[in-house]
Structure 1
Amino acid sequence: MTRYLLICIAFVISGCGTISPRSDTNWVGYKESGKASYYANSHQSKKTASGELYKQELKTGAHKALPLGSLVKVTNVDNAKTVIVRINDRGPFVKGRIIDLSKSAFSEISSIANGVIDVQIEVIE
């Protein structure tokens, strides 16, 4: 009985001490691969999750979990072109996509005509 009680207490204590897998300070080096798209023109001047207005000429992006303000290197896996973006919004909300880019960021690594591309992202700051 005592052994059972000690095991139960150990599980309760270990559950109380859990830390989220990533905090704001340990995202550097995080990598993810998937699909990227870009914001439609209709988003211009609309408020982002950070509170700032979306401007398609800035190098920004949206990610579901990365801390707002994170700097992310986005690499087009087909041509190895890269762009650095600052995360200022949440999304994308389309299955299979890992990041939405501003129009100017997307155009640095691919033709806008492609619409959706395969990328690897890496948090650099």
Structure 2
Amino acid sequence: MKSAFHAPAARLVAVGLVLAATTGAASAQCGRASWYALTSRTASGERMNPAAMTAAHRTLPFGTRLKVINQRNGRSVVVRINDRGPFIRGRVLDLSKAAAQKLGFIRAGHAKVCMTTVG
């Protein structure tokens, strides 16, 4: 049996990823994001504010802060999760209009982003 010190580099990377996942270390999640602007209440009970830096995510707890980076232009913003969604297949995040504007994808309607938890 070989020790971990003699394992191929790919195996060490895989072991590191498993350790990061099991220890709760922050990791980036990437996917498509869109923006939305409601005139009603969010799933957390607060009124939707299109000017706030907020977002909807399917599973993250309300209040979680995420740093979101637009992969096309490198712009970033920190948002707070206050709603559930997106409900469109293939999307990982719905952002407020203000957050999407700072990220530079209002006209496109969606963008490829990566996000990491903050704090």
TM-score higher than 0.5: yes
Aligned to 2:34: 37
CA distance in 2, matches of 1:86, 1:80: 19
TM-score (norm 2): 0.77
Higher Cα Rg: structure 1 or 2?
A: 1
Instruction: List, as ranges, runs of 4+ consecutive aligned residues in structure 1 with deviation greater than 3 Å.
Output: none
- Where structure 1 has 5 or more consecutive residues not aligned to the other structure, the ranges are 1-20
CA drift at 1:30:
3.6
- Does structure 1 residue 54 correspond to structure 2 residue 48? yes
Q: In the TM superposition, what are the counterparts of 1:19-38 in structure 2 within 5 Å?
A: 26=24, 29-38=26-35
Task: Describe the superposition over 1:102-123 as per-residue Cα deviations: whole angstroms up to 9, x where unpaired.
Answer: 0000000113111010000111
CA drift at 1:78:
0.6
- Does structure 1 residue 103 correspond to structure 2 residue 60? no
- Pairwise CA RMSD: 1.6
Identical columns (%): 41
CA distance in 2, matches of 1:62, 1:111: 17
Aligned to 1:63: 57
Aligned to 2:8: none
TM-score (norm 1): 0.73
CA drift at 1:31:
1.9
